[in-house]
Amino acid sequence: MSDERQAASLRMDSLAPQHDQAARQWAQRLGLRLEGEADFALQLGDAGLQLLELGPGAPGPVRVDFVEGAVAHRRQFGGGSGQMIAKAVGVQPGVRPTVLDATAGLGRDAFVLAALGCAMTLIERQPLIAALLEDGLARAQRDAEVALIAARMRLLCGNAIELMQQWQDEAPQVIYLDPMFPHRDKSALVKKEMRLFRPFVGDDLDAPELLATALQLASHRVVVKRPRKAPAIEGIKPGYVLEGKSSRYDIYPKKALKA
């Protein structure tokens, strides 16, 4: 763990009395204190769970919201099965593969695929991000418009390599990886999230092992999302690549997906 991650302090806040009990439960689950000076706060309020950097000049809070905002806009106007991510995982007429997103993060890509009809399993190893994701999914399940999509998403918290090595269920047809690297997307939203999460997450230095393990488990293909100009993950070379403006998908095919 880097010095930066050791130095970041975090507390749990309740934003209203009706959330006090649930906030205490989150604090207990995540090993957080409920008061005192801190660099960051995990806060529970009417809008759900959010992570906030404290102090002057800090960006606003980050939460997982599958009902409104950017994710909702992408669900409604994002291009459906014509999106590059859909092509990368093999969505086609009559084919909606089962997908394991082994680096779930805030769940945006997994939600896009679930909205297209894919049964999704999400793995997130950072407990703080997994908590935001769990809260976002719970709120989505209570919303009439997106409940059916959220029902296609199952969340696991833990080390993806270990969970894939010990996999007991039917193997996912597709495994999707989007490892965290220093040279990530420079958009304002991602910059804000990176600033918040970097002290707790760091980079995925085990990406080669993650890819190798995914290739062992997936029945049909592994898909790796990368910054467009970044090198491929060390190890076996991708079979083919789909390239966009800022990112690309390295595809490692094993077997054809058929209706």
Among 83, 74, 104, 257, which residue's Cα sits nearest to residue 178? Answer: 104
Tell me how far apart the alpha carbons of residues 83 and 91 are, in angstroms, rounded to a whole number. 10
Q: What is the pLDDT of residue 181?
A: 61
* Annotated binding-site residue numbers: 108-109, 124-125, 178
Where is average pLDDT lowest: 8-12, 168-172, 217-221, 239-243? 8-12
**Which residues are paired to 157 by β-bridges?**
124
List of residues 6+ apart from 211 with CB closer than 8 A: 177, 222, 224, 233, 235, 236, 252
Domains detected in the chain = 3-53 (no CATH), 70-253 (3.40.50.150)
- Contact call for residues 182 and 205 (beta carbons, < 8 A): no
More confident residue, 78 or 208: 208
Mean pLDDT of 212-223: 98
Kindly report the average pLDDT of the chain as a whole number: 89
d(CA 40, CA 53): 4
| Burial class (CB within 10 angstroms; exposed 0-12, middle 13-18, buried 19+) of 146 | buried
pTM of the complete model beyond 0.95:
no
**83 in the Ramachandran plot: left (φ > 0), alpha (ψ -120 to 50) or beta?**
beta
**C-beta of residue 121 within 8 angstroms of C-beta of residue 156:** yes
With 60 as the cut, is the pLDDT of residue 55 above it?
A: yes
| CB 174 within 8 Å of CB 99 | yes
Residues 196-222, mean pLDDT to the nearest whole number: 87
The per-residue pLDDT for range 153-183, each reduced to its tens digit, is 999 999 999 999 999 999 999 999 998 765 4
Residue 95 DSSP class: B
Which residues are known binding-site members for S-adenosyl-L-methionine? Answer: 108-109, 124-125, 178
- Examine the pLDDT at 7 and tell me if it is beyond 70: no
pLDDT at 187: 57
Is pLDDT above 80 for 2? no
Per-residue pLDDT band for 10 (boundaries 50, 70, 90) equals very high
Question: Which pLDDT tens digit goes with each residue over 145-158?
Answer: 899 999 999 999 99
pLDDT for residue 4: 41
Measure the CA–CA gap between 93 and 108, rounded to whole angstroms.
23
170 close to 139: Cβ distance less than 8 angstroms: no
Alpha helices (H) in the chain, listed in sequence order: 3-7, 20-30, 70-77, 84-89, 108-115, 127-141, 147-150, 160-165, 188-201, 207-217
Mean pLDDT computed over 107-121: 95
